[in-house]
Structure 1
């Protein structure tokens, strides 16, 4: 079971990196489109949602890798 937890730790960290990449790639055009609606949406995604999602996934993966969830 501990091996599965460590494997999923790697998966969560990879998912955090992939999420960051795709959000920047997809929503990067929203900041430079010139429309005010796109600008507000892009700012919300970049500065509020993206850090929350990526840091949450990365933290969960780190804890899984370092065996913080070990049952004693």
Structure 2
């Protein structure tokens, strides 16, 4: 079970990278569209939601990969 948790740590890190790429690729056009409502939406995505999601997924994956969630038999 501990090995599965470590492999899933890699999955979480890959998901964080994929999320960052997707948000930058798809929502990047919102910052340069010239419309005010797109600019506000793009700023919220880029500066508030994107760091929260990517850092949360990456941190969870890192801790899982390092074995912090392993079951310890005492």
User: TM-score, normalization: structure 1?
Assistant: 0.98
2:74 is equivalent to residue 45 of structure 1:
no
Q: 1:70: Cα distance to partner?
A: 1.7
Deviation per CA, 1:20-67: give whole Å up to 9, x if none: 001000000000000000000000000000000000000000000000
Uncovered stretches (5+) of structure 1, i.e. residues with no partner: none
Aligned-residue CA RMSD (Å): 0.5
Uncovered stretches (5+) of structure 2, i.e. residues with no partner: none
Matched residue pairs, number? Answer: 72
Moved over 2 A (4+): none
